[in-house]
Structure 1
Amino acid sequence: MAKENNSSTPKKPRFSSWWIYGVIIALILGFQFLGSSSFSSTKKTTTSELQEYLRNGDIAKILIIRNAGQAKVFLTNEALQKSVHKDVSEKPLIPSTGVLPQYILDYGDLQNFENEIKNIKKDNNLDTIVDFDTENNVLGDLLLSLLPFALIIGIWIYLMRRMSGGAGGGAGGQIFNIGKSKAKLFDEKTDTRTSFKDVAGLEGAKEEVQEIVEFLKNPDKYTSLGGKIPKGALLVGPPGTGKTLLAKAVAGEAKVPFFSLSGSDFVEMFVGVGASRVRDLFKQAKDKSPAIIFIDEIDAIGRARGKNNFTGSNDERENTLNQLLTEMDGFGTNTNVIVLAATNRADVLDKALMRAGRFDRQIYVDLPDIRERKEIFEVHLRPIKTSETLDLDFLAKQTPGFSGADIANVCNEAALIAARKEKKAVNKQDFLDAVDRIVGGLEKKNKIITQGEKETIAYHEAGHATVSWMLEHAAPLVKVTIVPRGQSLGAAWYLPEERLIVRPDQMLDEMCATMGGRAAEKVMFNKISTGALSDLEKVTKQARAMVTIYGLNEELGNITYYDSSGQNEYGFSKPYSEDTAQKIDKEISKIIEEQYQRAITLLDKNKDKLTSLAERLLEKEVIFKDDLEKIFGKRPFEKDIQEAEAVVTAASEEGKDEDK
């Protein structure tokens, strides 16, 4: 009943400062109109007409306004009856309490005007009264005196609103509330409908945050055994893996007040505003406890203190961080407020922020594996009309390394491609085209390429395909194309095996397959080109990682120069000597050249098959795995991926049974 009464009650109009400005402008215009001659019967006249009226004895009084240079003329009652003065004898539209003149004129030189009136009065023996007066425009003078102050105040109000986010920016948008929190309070009934059912994959992360929700719903279950509710949880992972989506699901499931804001919302140009907003945020959360605070992109304020602080430019950010540390775990901290935060740069966060008692749990949200990708496809394909034959397992295999956001983009892109082709449903080929579009870029079939360049591209891509087919640990080929796409003139698509541990022979095989393109150019034309830039960049990174990060080089031994804490980027010196730097450069070059020569040897032995593959590529422009099997036969190192997936699935099911 209360809701009905509220809904039926008419809402009062909200007060706006623009109303005041409108009233002031209306008053000014009103005074102008009221003071103008358009609302009175007073007419302007000339000096010659005035002299004529004076000679005829029509004028009773002339009032000379010295400071305005004007004269007001008042007629006699007899003169008002004459037809000459018919226009000025009518009553004004708006009645006036004072006596209004019938005529008004600008007299010019006062001495001449006064002498002429005296002469006419003397010649015609008139008793016309001539009087002098001064007029003060009180309203005009007042406006002129107040205008500078009003202008300064108006500019100040405008600047304050712009700096604090505008009038519609919530509590922080008002002039004197700039230190208030900008956090948005979510209402589970109206603001968000996301639940854990909408979050596919992320099994471990979901379990962690579900337990936090359970803490708030049923705290006695845990506190009865002596446990304490965690103070906070930090979601860490690559971009697009679903950290913010998990937080939305928590907001939808928790049924408690949920405050959401970004780390940049604390940052302001005024000193002390960030810390003030942190205090206000936690005060609001404590007033509504139990509650959850979600800070997205917390690295905006949580970056380690003292790093790269040569100018003192980040003192305000450090003050904000200090206040956040105090609020999360300090004297008088309320344990009924849980802080969730998300970042993809956990290595730059301050150690004091990461310790237990503040963020008790660090939940790593990793890129989805093949099984989780299938679940994510199922979620994003719900609103899309797909063909009945669509194989989700195949789509999951075709998208290795894709995040949840990437998969959502693939589904949307496939639907757009199908609509462009005027199809009734989205099929398998549309999804493959969408993956190609996202990974490689837009097709550029109209790009001008000479026949010689086209042959070079064909042999280059055929070299990649041939070498990868001949090596045991190279990724199996899906398709090869010489159609320009994005910035590349040709491309080869592979289906990499998802490994948790990579061995040196696997890395070397991948490097050899990558160098197969340049090796094919060398074998067929005895020339090399600039087309292998991306290949060289890839193998150089791999070789450098083998030598400097993973300790897979015999010459340097079991040593790594990788710093997981991120301190190296703030240092001025390398973590190794100049002699070691020369060794590193030498070993990187040695690894790459060995794999290049290995690729040349493989292609020399299979030159006829390489030529056949390149000719077919020139003919069709796009070839698939079946075309390679016709030329090379079955791949000798084909692995049973389905069997490996079955083992992984069985292991995960076993783990779930044990938990039950």
Structure 2
Amino acid sequence: MKKKVKKKNNFFWIYAVIFVIFIGIFFFKSTFSNYRKIDQDTFFNLLSKRLIKKIIVQHREIVHVYLNKELFPKNIIKSNHNFLDDNKFRVNPLKYEFEIGDLQFFQKKFEKYKEKYNLNTLIEFKNQQEYTITKFFFDYGIFFILLIIFWIFLFRRIGTHASGAGGQIFNIGKSKARLFDENDNIKITFKDVAGLEGAKEEVQEIVEFLRDPNKYTKLGGKIPKGALLIGPPGTGKTLLAKAVAGEAKVPFFSLSGSDFVEMFVGVGASRVRDLFEKAKEKSPCIIFIDEIDAIGRARGKSSIAGSNDERENTLNQLLTEMDGFGTNTNVIVLAATNRSDILDKALLRPGRFDRTISVDSPELNERKEIFRVHLKNLVLSNKVDIDFLARQTPGFSGADIANVCNESALIAARKNREKIVSKDFLDAIDRIVGGLEKKNKIIKPNEKKRIAYHEAGHATISWLLEHASPLVKVTIVPRGKSLGSAWYLPEERQLTTPEQMKDEICALLAGRSAEEIIFRSVSTGALNDLEKVTKQAQSMVAIFGLNERIGNISYYDSTGQNEFTFSKPYSEKTAQIIDEEISKIISEQYQRAKVILKNNEKKLAMLANELLEKEVIFRDDLKKIFGERPYPDEIGDMLRKTV
């Protein structure tokens, strides 16, 4: 037997019937209105033919005309279309109206016509609006009915429960958390999370505590109240929470911080109470709040004095539920955010979030593991080197690496390949970092030559300086907003010295230096280079304390409180010194780049001509012109073999 499925209530046909009724009432009112419009000339023509029984002047502006039914001949209308419309006559032959400008002028003219034609037409004056039940319904009833229907529809929408059940306004304070338990088929486990070994270890311990609490409680340990996952976007915080839901054999409530935010007062706090009540019924369990900064922002930063901040009320309720009287339950709160600097301090203290788990961008070995996870389902060539791909993507998050793998498959399919090769991955990285190639962009020959020398300057300095990033390739093909670009593989360092930072600044300024040497002028093409150079020099002077004149002083605020203040943490005199030192560092490295390029001007010209001919050159092309790199370059050797 087939199981009967109960159909959901569908109110569409009810709304359709109401709509048809409204349309019918509108046409009924417009068709069967009591009065039809005429002008004054038509009125006085009718008056002269003794066809008007009486008139009523309403509000000194509108005249209602009542025709004499016994004396009104139809043949006059049919023979005199110029003063009365035949269609209007057949709809309503007795009542008409028109507007007047000056009442005294109209009244004098009306009396003259009465005297001239010896008429007994009556005239009345009314200044009060006459309303009947029918007229009131036609004028205002539709508006009130539409208003009632709108509010009913609104209450049904906002009152619907998160699980789909219910439809009353009273459900608006219910939690929108989605519950996962052992009956849900969640396929993501810790095996699918690569490169987050430290974070996985701490989260796994929470899951094991819920599975076997005696292992920890017998030694006097207590279950942690909560764990906060912090880190840049795309590093795997939500993925880690999904793995917890897949691994844990306990109920798992999942929702976003914005689910507590509502336009009605008190709804956020009510949803927090409802969430924890449900969690206590299902304990031991886990609550996961994604993007908790939506309600966890520090209190009192931007609120107006005396105002009632609904978000702060929601946060206060959350703080009470996590660590207040009567919270001795096995409910663990797992939260994620990429804005930990703006969270309220009361939310971060032990007893609420006992553990703060940092989920940073993956290192080299971690990127290898992430690539292995995402390359499982791809059809790869045997020459694809995962080590090379991991080195080629410094600073990439897990989401970025997933995007690289997907883009490489799309590029290979676009080129009708049967397998994905290393070149497809390089093109995917270029596409993500630099943007789409614009080979059809029209560039003048003199501009193209300037671009070639600019990029050749970058490549030359990066080859000749010890601490400059190893070069991968140089191109003068427009990509994204740039007209040309040089691709490097920066060394992954934990510490950076002043010499290394100065070499990087010198390499960035080499493009403009080459332009000045060859063309005796500079262009606007170095905007991106100058931006990076200025930030690098600012960090040396004002943040890292690497300037002798400023000394071992840092004006960096790791708490993120500077965004709420309008004053600098140093005097005007110190600000002038900082500006002078920044300018000095940049000027020194600019002159240094010019000296190196002038000493290698012929090789610079050969490299630029090679670029103009091929548009894209690699490390082997630089090696033919400049010879072996004068400094040890293990990464460069690996790149040369792979490319």
Normalised TM-score (structure 1): 0.76
Please name the residue that 2:154 is paired with.
159
Please name the residue that 1:112 is paired with.
none
Partner-residue secondary structure (3-state), 1:426: coil
Please state how far the C-alpha of 1:155 moved relative to its aligned partner: 1.1
Q: 1:289 to 1:8 in 2, by over 3 A?
A: farther
Please state how far the C-alpha of 1:510 moved relative to its aligned partner: 0.5
Are positions 1:484 and 2:484 aligned together? no
1:85-234 to 2 correspondences below 5 Å: 150-163=145-158, 170=164, 174-190=168-184, 192-234=186-228
Q: Is the 8 A contact 1:462 1:614 kept in 2?
A: yes
Are positions 1:500 and 2:494 aligned together? yes
How far apart are the structure 2 equivalents of 1:497 and 1:107? 92
How far apart are the structure 2 equivalents of 1:620 and 1:108? 90
How far apart are the structure 2 equivalents of 1:107 and 1:148? 27
Q: Which amino acid aligns with 2:537?
A: A
How far apart are the structure 1 equivalents of 2:382 and 2:438? 32
Structure 1: runs of 5 or more not aligned: 1-6, 30-105, 110-137, 645-660
Please state how far the C-alpha of 1:286 moved relative to its aligned partner: 0.8
1:19-60 Cα shifts (integer Å, max 9, x gaps): 76689999999xxxxxxxxxxxxxxxxxxxxxxxxxxxxxxx
Are positions 1:537 and 2:497 aligned together? no
Q: 1:253 to 1:314 in 2, by over 3 A?
A: farther
Are positions 1:547 and 2:541 aligned together? yes
Please name the residue that 1:285 is paired with.
279
Q: 1:599 aligns with which of 593, 601, 604?
A: 593
Please state how far the C-alpha of 1:11 moved relative to its aligned partner: 2.8
Please state how far the C-alpha of 1:9 moved relative to its aligned partner: 3.7
Please name the residue that 2:374 is paired with.
380
How far apart are the structure 1 equivalents of 2:366 and 2:241? 19
Q: Which amino acid aligns with 2:191?
A: K
Q: Which amino acid aligns with 1:378?
A: R
How far apart are the structure 1 equivalents of 2:260 and 2:363? 36
Please state how far the C-alpha of 1:378 moved relative to its aligned partner: 0.9
How far apart are the structure 2 equivalents of 1:523 and 1:12? 81
Q: 1:617 to 1:446 in 2, by over 3 A?
A: same
Q: Is the 8 A contact 2:162 2:175 kept in 1?
A: no
1:627-638 to 2 correspondences below 5 Å: 627-638=621-632
How far apart are the structure 1 equivalents of 2:597 and 2:21? 91
1:166-199 Cα shifts (integer Å, max 9, x gaps): 6877469742211111111124543521111111
Are positions 1:244 and 2:238 aligned together? yes
Please state how far the C-alpha of 1:158 moved relative to its aligned partner: 2.2
Q: 1:579 to 1:238 in 2, by over 3 A?
A: same
Q: 1:510 aligns with which of 504, 508, 527?
A: 504
Q: Which amino acid aligns with 1:153?
A: I
Larger radius of gyration: 1
Q: Which amino acid aligns with 2:148?
A: I
Q: 1:586 aligns with which of 574, 580, 587?
A: 580
Please name the residue that 1:337 is paired with.
331
Partner-residue secondary structure (3-state), 2:442: coil
Q: Which amino acid aligns with 1:598?
A: R
Q: 1:526 aligns with which of 515, 520, 534?
A: 520
Are positions 1:294 and 2:279 aligned together? no
Q: Is the 8 A contact 1:171 1:177 kept in 2?
A: no
Are positions 1:431 and 2:425 aligned together? yes
Q: Is the 8 A contact 1:172 1:178 kept in 2?
A: no
Please name the residue that 1:130 is paired with.
none
Q: Is the 8 A contact 2:473 2:617 kept in 1?
A: yes
Please state how far the C-alpha of 1:255 moved relative to its aligned partner: 1.8
Pairwise CA RMSD: 2.9
How far apart are the structure 2 equivalents of 1:529 and 1:566? 37
Q: Which moved more, 1:404-413 or 1:517-526?
A: 517-526
Please state how far the C-alpha of 1:312 moved relative to its aligned partner: 6.0
Q: 1:317 aligns with which of 289, 311, 314?
A: 311
Q: Which amino acid aligns with 1:258?
A: F
1:552-567 to 2 correspondences below 5 Å: 552-567=546-561
How far apart are the structure 2 equivalents of 1:508 and 1:160? 64
Q: 1:163 to 1:585 in 2, by over 3 A?
A: farther
1:465-497 Cα shifts (integer Å, max 9, x gaps): 111111111111000000000000000000111
Q: Is the 8 A contact 2:162 2:176 kept in 1?
A: no
Q: Is the 8 A contact 1:171 1:181 kept in 2?
A: no
Partner-residue secondary structure (3-state), 1:359: coil
Structure 2: runs of 5 or more not aligned: 24-90, 95-132, 639-643
Q: Is the 8 A contact 2:162 2:177 kept in 1?
A: no
Q: Is the 8 A contact 2:468 2:503 kept in 1?
A: yes
Partner-residue secondary structure (3-state), 2:431: helix
Q: 1:410 aligns with which of 397, 404, 416?
A: 404
Q: Is the 8 A contact 2:280 2:329 kept in 1?
A: no
How far apart are the structure 2 equivalents of 1:141 and 1:553? 83
Partner-residue secondary structure (3-state), 2:235: coil
How far apart are the structure 1 equivalents of 2:3 and 2:377? 39
How far apart are the structure 1 equivalents of 2:135 and 2:328? 60
Q: Which moved more, 1:556-565 or 1:180-189?
A: 180-189
Please name the residue that 2:263 is paired with.
269
Partner-residue secondary structure (3-state), 1:478: strand
Please name the residue that 1:359 is paired with.
353
Please state how far the C-alpha of 1:389 moved relative to its aligned partner: 1.9
Q: Which amino acid aligns with 2:349?
A: R
Q: Which amino acid aligns with 1:255?
A: K
Q: Which amino acid aligns with 1:564?
A: S
1:390-424 Cα shifts (integer Å, max 9, x gaps): 11111111111100000010011111111111111
Please state how far the C-alpha of 1:160 moved relative to its aligned partner: 3.0
How far apart are the structure 1 equivalents of 2:92 and 2:418? 87
Q: Which amino acid aligns with 1:361?
A: R
Q: Is the 8 A contact 2:470 2:636 kept in 1?
A: no
Q: Which amino acid aligns with 1:159?
A: L
Q: Which amino acid aligns with 1:289?
A: S
How far apart are the structure 1 equivalents of 2:502 and 2:373? 38
Q: Which amino acid aligns with 1:425?
A: K
Q: Which amino acid aligns with 2:582?
A: I
1:442-486 Cα shifts (integer Å, max 9, x gaps): 001111111111111111101001111111111110000000000
Q: Which amino acid aligns with 2:225?
A: K
Q: Is the 8 A contact 2:161 2:172 kept in 1?
A: no
Q: Which amino acid aligns with 2:597?
A: L
How far apart are the structure 1 equivalents of 2:229 and 2:402? 21
Partner-residue secondary structure (3-state), 2:630: coil
Q: Which amino acid aligns with 2:146?
A: L
Q: 1:261 to 1:602 in 2, by over 3 A?
A: same
Please state how far the C-alpha of 1:509 moved relative to its aligned partner: 0.6
Q: 1:191 to 1:141 in 2, by over 3 A?
A: farther
How far apart are the structure 2 equivalents of 1:533 and 1:27? 65
Please state how far the C-alpha of 1:152 moved relative to its aligned partner: 3.3
Please name the residue that 2:458 is paired with.
464
Normalised TM-score (structure 2): 0.78
Please state how far the C-alpha of 1:365 moved relative to its aligned partner: 0.3
Q: Is the 8 A contact 1:171 1:180 kept in 2?
A: no
